[in-house]
Amino acid sequence: MKRTITLSLAAALLAAATIAGSAAAASRPDVACMQAGIKTLQSVQLLDDVARGGITIATAVSPGVTVRPGADISGVPNPVPFSLLLAADHRAGAGSAFVYPWCQD
């Protein structure tokens, strides 16, 4: 009986650890996407300007960025501040407001 309880407890702990590990992996920021966004801005020589004053949505969509289906961007400031664009939205992965062609969802 003691061995059955120990095995059941070990199985439950393993299941809990697996679920917690999956949740932690899913909540990790998409740093590769953020880095690709920085490289894209550098390649079109906009990084300095965007870092200082943000980027208009019209300029942001010109290299193929689109609004994620179902996303409400009515509250997104225009121009979009650099910190929101790269530090928040790029790192949000599939939860971002925009779809970036240089990022994997």
What pLDDT score does 54 carry?
93
Share of residues in the chain with pLDDT > 90 (%): 20
The verdict on whether omega for the bond into residue 79 sits within 30 degrees of 0, i.e. cis, is yes
Q: Residue 86 pLDDT > 80, yes or no?
A: no
What pLDDT score does 28 carry?
67
Give the dihedral of Cα atoms 33, 38, 41, 47; nearest 10 deg: 150
Q: How far apart are CA 66 and CA 59, in angstroms?
A: 11
- Domain spans of the chain? 31-99
The answer to whether the pTM exceeds 0.85 is: no
pLDDT in tens, 33-54: 888 888 988 998 999 999 999 9
